[in-house]
Amino acid sequence: MSQQVDLGLDHALASAETFFDGVFAPLEAWLPRLRQRLTGALEDGLLTGAQLAALVEHDAHAVLDSSDRPLYGAGFCASESLVSEGNPLAWWQGPERSLLASSAFGPGQAAIDLVRLEWYRVPEATGERHVAGPFVDYLCSNEITITSALPVVLGTEFVGVICADVLVSSLERALLPNLAGGVTLLNANGRVIVSSHPGWETGDRHPGAEALGTDPSTATLAADEGSATPGSASPGVEARLVRSARYPLAATFG
């Protein structure tokens, strides 16, 4: 791999990391204040969805107001150990800052199974922040979305996640100028997030996706080096990737 390609991948990945650092910054600033408010509220017992929304709304709006990233939505999604009935999604989105109207409780069609959602399931399992997507967000925007999530823990108990949504269309405008020369940004599952290569679209599965879980820093993408599969590097050029140390992201050439 040429030095120019190395530098291009490093630059692309650094720009993506910087972008998501900015997404997480207001969430991390909010986290200690949210823990304090939840702890106080729980002294009177579990919350209803309406009580949770009233408790969270000001700070969720503040996240949307304070961020210098193009956030589409932000809020807190509570576990059943915190909310006994009603909507566990204290989450506002869009230009009108609409409150989402879904419930994890009851048999209705609006009920959601939180543990099936990557942005909820992974932070709960790992205790670490996570970037989920791209996925079509049927709960919120109906757009292709990336959700950044931080776990919220009281004592030793997981009680939910605070999150911020970015539409992929906004992410493309922010990152594509730094993905020149056919660089592609992948998620942990090897799905294309954004790419400057004409052969790839958001959501495509990259043929070197299996390499993402095998090496902490760099890995050869395709066993068939330089193959002419759609989106691959030019024949004779080894397709490689570099992985982020702090986010489930990787950048590859081709």
DSSP labels for 41-107? HGGG-PEEHHHHHHHHHHHHHHHHHH-SS---EEEEEE-TTTEEES--EEEEETTTTEEP--BSSSS
Element containing residue 15 per DSSP (H, E): helix 3-41
Evaluate whether 183 touches 9 at the Cβ level (below 8 Å).
Answer: yes
Q: Tell me the CATH number for domain 1-167.
A: 3.30.450
Q: How many CB atoms lie within 10 A of CB 224?
A: 12
Distance between CA 234 and CA 215 in Å, rounded? Answer: 23
* Sequence ranges of the domains in the chain: 1-167
The amino acid at 126: T
Q: How confident is the model at residue 121, as a pLDDT? A: 94
Exposed, middle or buried by CB within 10 Å (0-12, 13-18, 19+), for 176? middle
Query: In this predicted model, what pLDDT tens digit does every residue of 156-198 receive, in sequence order?
Result: 999 999 999 999 999 999 999 988 888 999 998 889 999 999 9
pTM of the prediction? 0.85
The amino acid at 225: E
Evaluate whether 91 touches 104 at the Cβ level (below 8 Å).
Answer: no
Query: In this predicted model, what pLDDT tens digit does every residue of 55-68 receive, in sequence order?
Result: 999 999 999 998 89
Q: What is the mean pLDDT of the chain?
A: 83
128: confidence class by pLDDT, cuts 50, 70, 90: very high
- Which of 213, 215, 94, 74 has the alpha carbon at shortest distance from 148? 74
